[in-house]
Structure formats: structure tokens, C-alpha cells
Amino acid sequence: MSTGLPSRKDIPTQETWDLKDLFESDEQFYTTLKEVLDASKAFNQKYKDKIEANIVEKVLVEFEEILIQLDRLGNYAELRLSVDASSEDAQTLSAKLSTSYGKITSQLSFVESEILLLPSSEIESIMAHSEVPHYLEKLIKRKPYQLSPEVEEVLASLSPTFQSAYELYGTTKMLDIAFESFEHNHINYPMDYATFENEYEDNPDPEFRRKSFESFNNALRKYQHTTAATYNQHVQQEKIEADLRGYDSVIDYLLQDHEVTREMYNRQIDVIMSDLAPVMQKYAKLLQRIHGLDKMRFEDLKISVDPSYEPEISVEDSKKYIHGALDVLGDDYAQMIDKAYNHRWIDFAQNKGKDTGAYCASPYFTHSYVFISWTGKMEETFVLAHELGHAGHFTLAQQHQKLLDSEASMYFVEAPSTMNEMLMANYLFSNSEDPKFKRWVIGSILSRTYYHNMVTHLLEAAYQREVYHKVDNGESLTAPVLNSIMRDVYEQFFGDAVELTNSAELTWMRQPHYYMGLYSYTYSAGLTIGTVVSQKIKQEGQPAVDAWLNTLKAGGSKTPVELAKIAGVDITTDAPLKATIKYISELVDEVETLTDQIEQQN
């Protein structure tokens, strides 16, 4: 009988990240938090109601110094809590930051308000000599939606309240949902979020997979009304702020910082729903054929093409593959990878209370930190390459840009990560002619890179768009409404190729992205850029690498359209997206051809 995951305290140190570069201890965190609160009050007293054109640059330098420390504090609190949500120390620390955060940001809100009180011509004149010109350009674009300084200060002080829905969602998900074990072949298997998503969801045994899916969703269903109410609270708050600022729609409000048009947003969703759907329906049918399934059910979509072939891999052995794939990006990039492994930037552990998924946090104060749960599957080299793509991006951006111009638009931010997955695929392809290995590689790209980013997240985006349409129409969201939207989106995309098992509609409960603005659609946007760039690197070599590194160094100093242009990609048209879908279609066809070969050999 399986006993489940170990406690965090029982995890070997080398499998965990080292947060001492951020803070030596929680005590140092609390001391710094007080210092930042005091510094923000002193800054407010020094400059509030006094900002004129001739001191804007001086103000922004001191403003950045406080923001760097605030970013440092925020990352530390999140990193501490995400590896062990049950830790009382981590909970206390996070709560303390939350209560102080609004006080700090309310002291700082006057900066942007007072800059925007200056005539646009004066701001443009400042931009010509500024170290953060793009930051100022974005400010000007926000000017029509800026509220009075007094109201902006109130909204800033309420910012922790605006985050409370996301925090409540995380508490429900990681602490309150009680999962029961399930029985398979006379063995009881424990159930929790991490184990289901990392180990059970793609289990090659159909009966095991379906039992675990049912057990997992039986627990989720008990919390659907609480989770729906939490989510409704979040989106209604977004609607209130969008209305206050004078936006026509919540979507327009949330797209403001992305620096892309509504047309680009809609195109990303609509073209994939129409053009990629038939390709992925064919892929689903191919999985059904390869695995000899009577029906292709929803819970079968995460299985790999050939699970019996997938190699096991240790953390140590992963270095060879990561370097093999990513060293093409140059010596500095390779050194960053070495530092990530050798200086414990990465949390590989699997333990109770650890959050699900993978992410990269990149505090400007230090370096990136990568969150992953290493199960030993070879496919996880793609996940690690993805997160190191974020690390490489932010390392280069922060070396070459000031904080206020360092973070690229959310529309672009997944391009460096998903591009690395494609480099991993290119590397693996070049190292074998074995049909089974090639099929495994393509299967990994389809299931991990493209299904996860172009399908899973894109269907979330299509669902999310329908949610915001309802919110814009003055409707409230309940669990039955959200279930219905989710099911409709899946039915549109998969048609008759996949049977939507009861509980498929509860998938909306599993995704924290809905509390992060319009994040979900940006995965497919980033992967579109990443796919085109990876092909350019394959075909053109060093000139394409150099262009890409220049793109990464630009950080947030350009719009997404300008960043993509540096890399040689025109995202003002649907051509890159169509090319990416064509490439995915060719991969599915190649899996089919390789399957025919393998079956003939057998």
C-alpha cells in the first residue's frame, strides 16, 4: 500500500532551492519589510505633490529602489508558501506581507498619478532622455483611464483585498479539499492534487486512469460552489475596476498591459478553435488506436503515445539533455544553467503541501528560482527546459534593463520558455533514427508542449472569454454556469472524437491562471513565436540565435510586436499562427507514419 508523499522536513536539502540569496532568515525578511514600509513613507513625504518634469528621472530611480525590495519580499513569501502550504511559518509570513503590501503601495501610488498630471508633451520630452522610456510610453497610453490621485491611492491600499480571492482559491485547493484514497487491483492509492496531476493522470492503465479521475473529481465536486463563489468575487471586482476606469469591457481593461489589440487576442483563440481542432481530433483518434481503447474519453487525453518507451531520468542525468538542447544559445546562457543546478535555484522535491505545476520566479534583486516536482520521467526535461527559458529571459533582461523596463508583456512572456521546449525536441531528434524513439519525442512534443500550451491553456482562454462576456453583461457566475461554459468549449473543440466523461466540466476548478488576468491565451501566443524562432535557429543558425538573444535582452523595453520583429517574426498577421498549426499537423501525420512502421515491424 502506498503511503503518499513525504513531509517537507524529510526532503534532502539538495532537492530543494536555497532562498538565502533572497533572505538569510524569516527574521531578516520581517526587518526588511519594516524598512521598506518606512522607506515608502519617507519617499511619500519627500516627493508627494512635488513632482515636476525636471525631477521625474530622479524620482523614478528612488521609486525603483523601493520596488526592487518589494519584489524581493513578495517573491520570498510566495516561494516559501508554494513548497509547503501547510507550514504555519510560511502562512504567517505571507499574511504579514499581505497586510503591509497595501500600505506600501498606497504610499507609492502618487508617482504615476502625478507624472500623468503632466502634459503628454512634457512626458514625451522626458522619454527622449529616460532610462525607462517604454515604461513612460505605457503610462501615456493609460492616461485616459487614470483616476484621480486620491482614488488611485485608495485602490492601491486595497490591493491585498483584490488578491484575497486568489489566496482563498489556493487555500481551498491545497489545504481544505479532502481527497479519499481509491482501490485498484486490491491496492489503496492515496489521492492529492500533485499526485493526480504528476502521476495518475497519464497512467498507461485505462482502468486505473479512469478510477483516479473519478476519485479526484468526486472530491472537487464537493467544493464547486465555494470555488465558483470565490472566482465570481474575483471577476466582479475586475469588472468594477474596469467600469471605474472607463473601459468598454473587462477584456479591454485586462489587455491594456499586454500591449496587443483585441483583434490579436480574439484571433489567437478563434483560429485555434477552428484550425487546430481538426488536427487535435485526429491526434485523439490516433491515441485511441495506439492504445487500443474502445472509446477515447476525456481522461485519456493526457496519455503519452508510448508510455512503455519513456526513459526514467535522474536530476543529475537531466543536465546532459538540458545543456545539449540549450547550449546553442551561447556560453553565458550555459553558465546560467550551471548556476541554476549548482547553486540550488531549482526546487525538485515532491512533498506534502507543495503546490502543483511548475513556474519560474525572477526577483530583480537576485536571480531566478524554478519550481518543479521531479518524478523522474524523461518528459520532465521539457518542463525544466521551459522554466529555464523564463530564467534565461529574465537573467538577460535584468542585466540589460532597469526594473521598470525589464518585464516583457504577458503576451510575449511564454515565448522564451516554449521556444526552449522546441530546442529540446530538435536536440533529441538529431540524436536518434530509431522509429520508436522518434515517435516518443514527437509524442512528448504533442502532449507536453503543444497539447498543454496550445490546447489545455487555449481552451481555458476560450472558457475565460465567455466568462467575461457574461460579466460584461451584468451576470453572476455559479458552479452550474461555469460547468456549462467549460463543457461547451470542450464539445466545440473535440466534437465526436472524444467522449466527455461526467466531471470533465469541473476542469475549470483546477487552474489558478484565471486569477492572473488573461494569462491563459498567452501560452499559445508565446508558443507561436517560439515555434517560428526555433525553426529559424534550426535553418539559419547563429544569426537567428543572435537575433533571439537581442530579443531577450530587450526585456520589457519594447511592445510584443516589436520584440517579435527583432526575432524576425511578424505577429501582426495570422501567418505565424497558421504556420505553427501546420507544423503541429505535420507532427501528428509523422506519428501516424511511424506507428504504421512500428506495427509492420511487429
Nearest residue to 457 (alpha-carbon basis) of 209, 322, 269: 269
Residue 332 lies in a domain: no
* Domain count of the fold of the chain: 2
Region 251-265: mean pLDDT is 95
- 229 and 109 within one domain: no
Cell of 329: 544559445
**Which pLDDT band, with edges at 50, 70 and 90, does 180 fall under?**
very high
Mind listing the pLDDT tens digit for each residue in 48-101? 999 999 999 999 999 999 999 999 999 999 999 999 999 999 999 999 999 899
209/441 Cα distance (integer angstroms): 23
**Which pLDDT band, with edges at 50, 70 and 90, does 2 fall under?**
very low
Say if residues 379 and 328 touch (Cβ distance below 8 Å): no
Region 329-343: mean pLDDT is 97
237/468 Cα distance (integer angstroms): 12
Residue 457, SS3 per DSSP:
helix
Report pLDDT for 1.
35
Angle of CA points 292, 294, 299, to nearest 5°: 90
Out of 147, 180, 200, a domain closes at: 147
Whether the pLDDT of residue 3 is over 70: the answer is no
How far the first Cα of the chain sits from its last, in Å, is: 36
- 420 and 271 within one domain: yes
Strand 359-361 relative to strand 369-371, pairing: antiparallel
- 120 and 267 within one domain: no
- 231 and 140 within one domain: no
Residue 185 lies in a domain: no
- 301 and 219 within one domain: yes
Region 375-381: mean pLDDT is 87
- 205 and 287 within one domain: yes
Mind listing the pLDDT tens digit for each residue in 123-179? 999 999 999 999 999 999 999 999 998 998 898 888 888 888 998 898 888 888 989
Whether the pLDDT of residue 429 is over 90: the answer is no
The separation between CA 538 and the C-alpha centre of its own chain, rounded to angstroms, equals 26
Instruction: Say which CATH number the domain at 104 has.
Output: 1.20.140.70
Report pLDDT for 599.
86
Residue 319 lies in a domain: no
Neighbours of 441 (CB within 10 A): 23
Residue 563 lies in a domain: yes
Whether the pLDDT of residue 515 is over 60: the answer is yes
- 132 and 233 within one domain: no
- 286 and 222 within one domain: yes
H helix runs in 246-379, sequence order:
250-255, 262-271, 277-291, 315-326, 331-342
Say if residues 470 and 232 touch (Cβ distance below 8 Å): no
Whether the pLDDT of residue 367 is over 60: the answer is yes
Report pLDDT for 304.
86
Helices 415-429, 435-444: axis angle to 10 degrees equals 180
Domain of 109, in residue numbers: 8-147
Residue 362 lies in a domain: no
Instruction: Say which CATH number the domain at 535 has.
Output: 1.10.1370.20
State the burial class of residue 48 (Cβ atoms within 10 Å of its Cβ: 0-12, 13-18, 19+). middle
Least confident segment among 192-201, 283-292, 382-391, 529-538: 192-201
Residue 575 lies in a domain: yes
Residue 43 lies in a domain: yes
- 198 and 61 within one domain: no
Strands (E), 98-155: none
113/125 Cα distance (integer angstroms): 18
291/288 Cα distance (integer angstroms): 5
- 577 and 446 within one domain: yes
Tell me the residue length of the chain: 602
Cell of 248: 468598454
Report pLDDT for 432.
77
102/120 Cα distance (integer angstroms): 29
**Which pLDDT band, with edges at 50, 70 and 90, does 357 fall under?**
confident
Residues 6+ positions from 133 with CB-CB distance below 8 Å? 127, 405, 557
Residue 483 lies in a domain: yes
Strand 346-347 relative to strand 369-371, pairing: parallel
Maximum Cα–Cα distance across the chain? 80
Least confident segment among 289-303, 316-330, 417-431: 417-431
Cell of 175: 489545504
Neighbours of 201 (CB within 10 A): 16
218/195 Cα distance (integer angstroms): 16
The separation between CA 46 and the C-alpha centre of its own chain, rounded to angstroms, equals 38
- 588 and 459 within one domain: yes
The per-residue pLDDT of the chain, averaged, comes to: 93
Percent of the chain with pLDDT over 70: 99
- 503 and 421 within one domain: yes
Cell of 275: 484550425
Nearest residue to 93 (alpha-carbon basis) of 156, 23, 157: 23
387/280 Cα distance (integer angstroms): 25
Q: Which residue has the cell 500533485?
A: 194
Report pLDDT for 494.
96
Say if residues 513 and 457 touch (Cβ distance below 8 Å): yes
Region 338-346: mean pLDDT is 97
State the burial class of residue 27 (Cβ atoms within 10 Å of its Cβ: 0-12, 13-18, 19+). exposed
Beta bridge partners of 189: 182
